Amino acid sequence: MKILVINGPNINMLGIREPEIYGSVTLDKIEEGLREYSKNFKNLELEFFQSNSEGAIVDKIQSALKENIDGIIINPAAYTHTSIAILDSIKAIKKPVVEVHLSNTNSREEFRSVSYVSKAAIGTVQGFKQDSYKMALFGLYNYLNE
């Protein structure tokens, strides 16, 4: 089983950007922790991708068809609230997607309570900082093995 983990704009700035909201853990540490956690699951391979570009994220989502990706975990970051293109690409590939956020977007600015991505996701995990990714992986793995 292969799961693609996609991170959107400014996630590469974790550890520097607003640690009071996002925590002090870097993206590299989140990926390292998720790789370690994935050892608890049988026959699981993870692939990681981060981009600040909406088009690159859409291209990567679409590539899931050719790369035999079984599911996607995505933190679309600011594109959560603006990107119909990312929503449409998720709908097009017909693969299960879990949306993940480090912070609880519903407890922040009003505009952050709107998520286009959640309209196509099988579930959303948010508010648990880096552990949100582990929860998303647990849920997606179990969903794929039903």
Which residue among 37, 79, 81, 101 is the active-site one?
Answer: 101
Q: Does residue 81 have an active-site annotation? A: no
Is residue 10 left, alpha or beta, with left meaning phi > 0 and alpha meaning psi from -120 to 50?
left
22 is known as an active-site residue: yes
Q: What does each C-alpha distance from 32 to 16, 42, 50 come to in angstroms?
A: 18, 18, 14
Phi and psi, residue 4, nearest 5°: -95, 130
Task: Kindly tell me the sign of the dihedral angle through the C-alpha atoms of 46, 47, 50, 51.
Answer: negative
Residue numbers annotated as active site? 22, 101
